[in-house]
Structure 1
Amino acid sequence: MKANYKFSNICGTVYRQGNVLFTPDGNSLLSPVGNRVSVFDLVNNKSRTLPVENRKNIAAIALSPDANVLVTVDEDGRSLLVNFHRGVVLHHFNFQKPVKDIQFSPDGKQAYSYIAVTHDAHVQVWRTPNHLVREFAPFVLHRTYTGHHDEVLSIRWSPDSKCFITTSRDMTARLFTLDPLEGFRPKTFAGHRDAVLGAYFSQNGRSIYTVSRDGAVFTWKAKVTEADMDSDDDQTPIPIASSSKNAADTIAATRWGVHDRHYFNLPNTKVVSTTFHPPSNLLVVGFSTGVFGLWELPAFTNIHTLSISQEKISSVAISPSGEWLAFGARKLGQLLVWEWQSESYILKQQGHYFDMNTLAYAPDGQTIATGGDDGKLKVWSVHTGFCFVTFSEHSAPIMDVAFAKHGSVLFSASLDGTVRAYDLVRYRNFRTFTSPSPAQFSALAVDPSGEVVAAGSTDSFEVFLWSVQTGKLLDILAGHEAPVSSLAFSPTGANQLASGSWDRTVRIWNVFGRSRAVEPLTLSSDVLSLAFRPDGNELAASTLNGQITFFDVRESKQTNVIDGRKDVSGGRKADDRVAAANSASGKAYTSLAYTADGSCVLAGGNSKYVVLYDVREGEGVLVKKFQISENLSLDGTEEFLDSRKVNSAGINTDLIDDRGDASDLEDRMDTSLPGATRGAGDMSVRRYRQEARTKCVRFSPTGRAWAGASTEGLLIYSLDDTLAFDPFDLTIDLTPQAVLDVLADSEYLKALVLAFRLNEKPLIRCVYERIPRGDVRLAVRQLPVVYVPALLRFVAEHLEKSPHLEFDLIWVQAVLMAHGRFLRDRSGEHAPVLRSVQKALGDVSGSTSSLCDENTSTLLYLIDQSKVKHGVDCETMQN
């Protein structure tokens, strides 16, 4: 059993807070997800999450103009300098204060690039070398700019990076130059009656636009002097700067004045976010009511207005081409990309509004279903990371979900008293199961045949069984004396149903037998979850005291116990009086999952850890602990008390409710009733902090990945294949040029292996396409088996896009002929690769057959037309 699972992706959350931004090519969108950053490929319809974590939730991100370096800043001002393409942290830095905005200078031709950062009422500009300079001294302070009297909110650079303009809560904007200019004093743009959220340069630098929170847009241009008024053309302002000076000097030397004032005139609405696209003069504004608008400046022509959310739009961004608009809504966790010209969504994603309670893998391992406190049932694609269908029929939290064996039917159990069955072919709820008297369902299980569904109740303590075909209630299993917490059918089809309850017993029912006599298996504490071993001979049960107990199903006797409280403990809450090492109270496993071979058990619960145990031959050896998050914004992730957060009264400042200190009135106001808010705790409590925990863990049927429904979202961990040893790892001169040199010497096998070691797709494609077809079979036969899955995956992707059909088919045939036995023996491990090859071959077969049918029809038509024409010619000759 492999245990080198590494974090792969976050699916259940698409946006938390902070700013969203497009990559310079406009093909991808970056979105902060808690203390991580997710990248959404809008062209290929895929998403990935960078494997780096900030200390706390991210407040601002910035990407360099060449898309090589990403800077992420958390709520406390601690930042990471990340290699964007590799996902590797290059440097840690602390700005000492919370950061509202951070911007790279747009001119990347200089030897140094600059980063402008808000620093409370000041602005700091830091210098970092670009990729052309062979040195690395990150974050060298260039200058600190002062002048604002309140918190700075935004920064925008001029196109040539010689000056920048800032906005503040003091209702002004200020213009600064990067380097000192003789006789220059920072310009102040005053006149707004509320905080200025954004200030922007026009494309030619002759105009500046400022947008305030109360919905006012001011256009600033050069003041017209008396001499200009006496000239013939009194409509065009003339900059004071001489023609010999560059654009930055022109902007700095201009005497700016208000040229136009415009207002959105939306009652009871505030501007929350804004951005500007200079090439097309488009201003995008997000409002507190969930409405966004698109205006063309300087004429202030409203092009588009649309309501896209029920909550305020926290962040807006516009693609470099000006075609796509991206929006993030913090409260709903919504991320949208809108193409305003065609008025259509490019991307529309939303995570669960409240906590995610449960998940289930489809039998093919390609999709995951999740249920949450918001009553939504969402189905996610593992391959793309996107949710492709949402069911909203439930009116209360969903507690458990399960797929039928064939994968086209999905079941969900909810506290609203219903169990629902969904058709994943037609995307509809085709069956609803209810009990004779209202009951809340907290557990669900589906018979391996898919004919019977069972649900456990929290109030009547009974287990209900229904027929999926007819929807009729088949049986009610009574005997438990407390809420039923977990159900599991035997996977071997032995008609055995195990139920665990808070009455400290596990019962194994013979569902279709005549006798209802069941001898309960007694445990020392409340049962929280159950799991059958894949062969059906062993049952694992986790209890409230942190133990995992194993039973032999055939003999109904206990075989092993794992005391996991010390393993799952770790992380102290803000109000804990004991250290993390001693804080084991309440720590227990709430979810269990066996691996496909039954050798290991994965357990997750009320902790920041998910634990993998080896349970072969009655052992209970801890194999690995996975920490689901290092986010200190969550409760239970810190190991030690931070004395810097304890005030003079001995109170942890994290426990002090500071909502009343918010600068904006609507953020200070709390209009909810005590006890009326679901999922985020009782609002009558002074302060609520989310706790790091995992409510459900499941293994993929392929065994190549596992997923956890956690506070951070749907975390996916997959096997890391980079740990395979290969002698080529030891060479220090492994470069793309070295690969091309080897290829030029016709050493095709060595070039192919070197290309896979570098793992650069363009380089692999170059080597792959330059290998002569006559040498393909020999190269594949001698290829080390560690590269066979990677080669097969690459050929499958190449087959979908390349016109070289015969060449790709030769490669597929050569790989399967040479390494077919190796792939067959590890079919479970390499199932996703084989499935992708099958899909590619199926697509090629389908497209080829349709093309042949079309050509056949065309040829038959031409033959018929020639016959008709020949007959007409013969008649003409006879006449």
Structure 2
Amino acid sequence: MKSDFKFSNLLGTVYRRGNLVFTEDGTKLLSPVGNRVSCFNLIKNECFTFNYEHRKDVTTIALNKQGTLMLSVDEDGRAILINFVARTVLHHFNFKDKVLDLKFSPCGNYFAIACNRFIQVWKTPDFTDDRQFSPFVRHRVYSGHYSDVTSISWSKDSRFFLSTSKDMTSKVYSLHSDESSVAMTLAGHRDYVVNAFFNDTQEIIYTLSKDGALFRWEYTERPGEESDSDDEETDTEKPQKHLSWRITAKNFFYADSHVKCATFHPQSNLLVVGFNNGEFRLYELPEFVLVQQLSMGQNPINTVSINRTGEWLAFGSSKLGQLLVYEWQSESYILRQQGHFDSINCICYSPDGGRIITGSDDGKIKVWDNRSGFCLMTFTEHTSSITGLQFSKKGQVLFSSSLDGTVRAFDLLRYRNFRTFTATERIQFNCLAADPSGEVVVAGSQDSFDIFVWSVQTGQLLDRLSGHEGPISGLSFGVESSVLASASWDKTIRIWSIFSRSQSVEPIEVQSDVLSIAMRPDSKEVSISTLDGHIVTFDVEDAKQVHLLDGKRDIIGGRYKEDRFEAKNSARAKNFTTIDYSFDGNFIIAGGNNNSICLYDVKNEVLLKKFKVSENMKLDGTLQKLNSKNMADGGALDLVDRAGENSDLEDRVDNSLPGSRKGDPSLRSTRPAIRVASIRFSPTISSFAAGSTEGLMVYSVDNEMVFDPFELDIDITPQTIIETLEEKDYLKALIMSFRMNEVKLIRLVYDSIPVKDIKVVAKDIPVVYLERLLRFIGERSIDSIHLELHLIWINSLLLSHGQYIGVHRYEFTHAMKLLSRFLNKYAKSIVKISKNSDALTGFLTAAVKSKDQAEEFEGFEESEHEDMDEDSDESEGEWLGPTADSKGFADVFEDAVDMDE
């Protein structure tokens, strides 16, 4: 198994805070998820997360019009410049202040940021004349506001931009110094201005304030200044009129809540406004006609964005962690995703590795598609925290345990809860295991020291396994047999045979409290993680210790905000609370209440790789060094609640309980700490998932960007392909024929490859051409007579690339359907021929026996009557009839073969 796992995706979190950005073509949506950025493809229904990290949560992102550069800034003003196409980091920069808004100009040559009460305009990174990369060059700093700037909006021609501020004014600025005279202040609102926009002609400006007032500004003369010299017919020059931006219309929303966010689409004059109570409205300007009025909940809408065509609207709610993409013309949702309200407690893979199930403290169970990254279904039957998840062997039934005292079974074909298991008294279950046969399900608790066993078919409680003297901390079944392993805080583990008559077992003593347990898939070994930081492996039959891994030195411990010592001197969380075996049983992945994930080779007792979960400094346990400037006599300065300094009343009010860790993570009175609550290997061994404070993190060994070296070769012609084929370089010739995309050439190369070289070519063919080759074989094999040749190709390709095809099964759907059609057709033909052959073989066998008996009889007659040659000839002639009949069966056989061909 490969060990070069890399971060590939972040699930379970779709939006945290900040703004949402559509790409220029409107098919992709960028969303900040903590200290990372996720990209949702709305056409292909898939998402990915950039693998870079900020030091703190991302507050604003921007993408240039060309779709090549993305800039993301965290709450401390640290910016990262990314090549959006290659997904690589180009440059790090620190603006040294809190960035409130960030916008690229429509021309793409500049971008403007709002820092406190100033606006800074920077040149977009580009190559200079001497081919030197100049990342950030500041063009100019604009001032004039007396409070924080709330938004920036560019004009269509990139010559001007608007800024709004909490000082209840908006300002018009010019990008070029020779047009500085156009700078003007737009005042008149009675609350701070949320946003301002140019219309499509740039002759009208709309300003929107928090109290729900929308002002329309036009560049015109003062209404009282009408020329009195019109009546006077003189040859003198008329005085120049004084033109300025003036209010020509005032409109009000009359809503029950304040305006939280707004966006405007100049081409269609569509205004979208989001309110604090979860309501959003669509207006058509300049007539101010209400088009639609809907609600996405009772929580504030923090951001709204609209794509270039004006058809799709994107909304983000920070409190719920909810992301919506709404098509307002058809009044339908394009995307509707929401993460868990609380932290993830447990996860599990489906047997095919295509889905990941997560359970959280909010009592919800979510089904995530591993390929697309989207949530398929949410179960809300539990009323308390989810503590355990387990699939049945066939993957159609999901079992879950909860602190509400129930164990439930869910049908994942019909997405319903069809069975609920309870104990005789109210007990909070904290661990779960399901028998591989699907007959029984077991659960343990920290309240009672017994293990409860239920029948899945009847839902009745079958047995209570007693023996442990402490709370049950873990249960695990093997894949091969129905052997149950249980772990407890009483420093013992026990092996149970569920279906045997005697339930007496001998405990296996351990040196410390057992925190987690995992059984090897072949049920021959069991591994546990203990409180002293060890991972111990025992042989199930002999109950002897086989391997010992010391993980205390491998764990990356972090410093909490209240700590007065460095992380290396901390004894906190120096153990693993969750472990899991790989599919082949050779590796163990481990995580705990710390910032590390460790991958071990069990047989050699070696640490193969160590992963750092997060770099987010907003979480406790990620810092390594002590920063003395943040420490005071009364404690850490980071623990001081500064919410009372916020300018908005809704930001100052905190309704959360002191010290509570439940509910909205953004409203916790205590800082969330980094931890890995659950970790699982994928059944395909190509990835593993970790349920952490940041969300569901997926690490994979598959390369998303596949390099094709033949794309660089421009000398690909039919002549070169034939020459390569004559040189017996079959792999290169096959790839070149696919590059040419000529069917005749592909057939020529395919038929020219010797049978003995098929296995080698199939093994070495790049995965870029794997789907095309399978599709070609499937299309050609339908009408081809070379049955064995196609079967050899299919067998070789599936043996060499079966794991890759299983992981990317959605990409190979069409090719596999063609192969299935081909195999089914010939399978039916072979079965039909086989039935006819059985009848023919029986008839011919009977005929041969009759002929042998006749020959014996003929020899006997010749010995007694030598003069009966004519009779013997006649006797031989009597068997011509059956031969004719057999010929009829042969004709049937030949007709069946001809028909199949």
* Superposed pair shares fold, TM > 0.5: yes
Q: Note if contact 2:344-2:693 (Cα within 8 Å) is conserved in structure 1.
A: yes
Q: Note if contact 2:738-2:746 (Cα within 8 Å) is conserved in structure 1.
A: no
Q: Does 1:621 align with 2:606?
A: yes
Distance in 2 between the 1:771 and 1:144 partners?
64
TM-aligned CA distance change 1:783 to 1:43, over 3 Å? same
Q: Does 1:119 align with 2:115?
A: yes
- 1:773 maps to 746
Q: 2:466 aligned to 467, 478, 483, which one?
A: 478
Q: 2:562 aligned to 569, 575, 578, which one?
A: 575
Q: Does 1:221 align with 2:218?
A: yes
Q: Note if contact 1:106-1:159 (Cα within 8 Å) is conserved in structure 2.
A: yes
- 2:178 maps to 181
TM-aligned CA distance change 1:309 to 1:130, over 3 Å? farther
Q: 1:549 aligned to 532, 536, 540, which one?
A: 536
Q: Note if contact 2:433-2:476 (Cα within 8 Å) is conserved in structure 1.
A: yes
Distance in 1 between the 2:571 and 2:406 partners?
36
Distance in 2 between the 1:350 and 1:501 partners?
36
Secondary structure of the corresponding residue to residue 255 of structure 1: strand
| 1:198-277 alignment runs, 5 A limit | 198-225=195-222, 255-267=244-256, 269-277=257-265
Q: Report deviation, 1:696.
A: 0.7
Secondary structure of the corresponding residue to residue 824 of structure 1: helix
Deviates more, 1:670-679 or 1:496-505: 670-679
Q: TM-score, normalised by structure 2?
A: 0.83
TM-aligned CA distance change 1:823 to 1:175, over 3 Å? same
Q: Note if contact 1:467-1:473 (Cα within 8 Å) is conserved in structure 2.
A: yes
Alpha-carbon deviations, 1:222-272, whole Å to 9, x = none? 2334698579x9xxxxxxxx9xxxxxxx9xx951011111111112x1111
Distance in 1 between the 2:168 and 2:415 partners?
51
RMSD of aligned alpha carbons: 3.5
Distance in 1 between the 2:76 and 2:555 partners?
29
Distance in 2 between the 1:452 and 1:843 partners?
40
Q: Note if contact 1:748-1:771 (Cα within 8 Å) is conserved in structure 2.
A: no
Alpha-carbon deviations, 1:468-491, whole Å to 9, x = none? 111111111122222211110122
- 1:128 maps to 124
Distance in 1 between the 2:705 and 2:83 partners?
21
- 2:645 maps to 661
Q: Report deviation, 1:740.
A: 3.4
| 1:332-343 alignment runs, 5 A limit | 332-343=320-331
- 1:865 maps to none
Alpha-carbon deviations, 1:118-168, whole Å to 9, x = none? 111100000024589855211100000000001111101000101100011
Q: Report deviation, 1:767.
A: 4.7
Q: Report deviation, 1:529.
A: 0.9
Deviates more, 1:127-136 or 1:584-593: 127-136
Distance in 1 between the 2:114 and 2:724 partners?
51
Q: Where do 5+ consecutive residues of structure 1 fail to align?
A: 234-241, 243-249, 851-879
| 1:25-104 alignment runs, 5 A limit | 25-104=25-104
TM-aligned CA distance change 1:643 to 1:87, over 3 Å? farther
Alpha-carbon deviations, 1:400-451, whole Å to 9, x = none? 1011110111111000000010111111000011001111011010000011
Q: Does 1:700 align with 2:679?
A: no
TM-aligned CA distance change 1:63 to 1:50, over 3 Å? same
In the alignment, residue 203 of structure 1 is paired with which amino acid? D
Distance in 2 between the 1:407 and 1:784 partners?
31
Distance in 1 between the 2:776 and 2:306 partners?
34
Q: Note if contact 2:762-2:800 (Cα within 8 Å) is conserved in structure 1.
A: no
Q: Note if contact 2:191-2:210 (Cα within 8 Å) is conserved in structure 1.
A: yes
TM-aligned CA distance change 1:293 to 1:561, over 3 Å? same
In the alignment, residue 88 of structure 2 is paired with which amino acid? V
TM-aligned CA distance change 1:8 to 1:499, over 3 Å? same
Q: Note if contact 1:681-1:688 (Cα within 8 Å) is conserved in structure 2.
A: no
TM-aligned CA distance change 1:447 to 1:435, over 3 Å? same
Distance in 1 between the 2:320 and 2:35 partners?
17
Q: Report deviation, 1:380.
A: 0.5
How many pairs align? 803
Structure index of larger Rg: 2
Q: Where do 5+ consecutive residues of structure 2 fail to align?
A: 231-238, 726-730, 826-901
Q: Note if contact 1:3-1:624 (Cα within 8 Å) is conserved in structure 2.
A: yes
Q: Note if contact 2:368-2:376 (Cα within 8 Å) is conserved in structure 1.
A: yes
Secondary structure of the corresponding residue to residue 459 of structure 1: coil
| 1:786-801 alignment runs, 5 A limit | 786-793=764-771
Secondary structure of the corresponding residue to residue 485 of structure 1: strand
Alpha-carbon deviations, 1:285-327, whole Å to 9, x = none? 1111111111111111111111112211111000111111000
Distance in 2 between the 1:23 and 1:521 partners?
59
Distance in 1 between the 2:333 and 2:822 partners?
29
Q: Note if contact 1:703-1:829 (Cα within 8 Å) is conserved in structure 2.
A: no
TM-aligned CA distance change 1:829 to 1:220, over 3 Å? closer
Distance in 1 between the 2:789 and 2:330 partners?
46
Q: Report deviation, 1:632.
A: 1.6
TM-aligned CA distance change 1:5 to 1:571, over 3 Å? same
- 2:547 maps to 560
Secondary structure of the corresponding residue to residue 660 of structure 1: helix
Distance in 1 between the 2:184 and 2:564 partners?
54
TM-aligned CA distance change 1:829 to 1:849, over 3 Å? closer
Secondary structure of the corresponding residue to residue 672 of structure 1: coil
Q: Note if contact 1:293-1:306 (Cα within 8 Å) is conserved in structure 2.
A: yes
Q: Note if contact 1:569-1:583 (Cα within 8 Å) is conserved in structure 2.
A: no
Distance in 2 between the 1:586 and 1:217 partners?
54
Q: Report deviation, 1:202.
A: 0.2
Q: 2:662 aligned to 678, 684, 701, which one?
A: 678
In the alignment, residue 791 of structure 1 is paired with which amino acid? Y
In the alignment, residue 111 of structure 2 is paired with which amino acid? I
Q: Report deviation, 1:789.
A: 3.3
- 1:854 maps to none
| 1:851-862 alignment runs, 5 A limit | none
Q: Note if contact 1:792-1:812 (Cα within 8 Å) is conserved in structure 2.
A: no
- Taking every aligned residue pair, what percent have the same amino acid on both sides? 46
TM-aligned CA distance change 1:847 to 1:212, over 3 Å? farther
In the alignment, residue 114 of structure 1 is paired with which amino acid? Y
In the alignment, residue 124 of structure 1 is paired with which amino acid? Q
Q: TM-score, normalised by structure 1?
A: 0.85
Secondary structure of the corresponding residue to residue 508 of structure 1: strand
In the alignment, residue 371 of structure 1 is paired with which amino acid? G
Q: Note if contact 1:569-1:584 (Cα within 8 Å) is conserved in structure 2.
A: no
Secondary structure of the corresponding residue to residue 442 of structure 1: strand
| 1:625-774 alignment runs, 5 A limit | 625-646=610-631, 649=633, 651-674=635-658, 678=662, 687-721=669-703, 738-742=712-716, 746-747=720-721, 767-768=740-741, 772-774=745-747
Q: Report deviation, 1:496.
A: 1.6
| 1:443-458 alignment runs, 5 A limit | 443-458=431-446
Q: Report deviation, 1:825.
A: 5.9
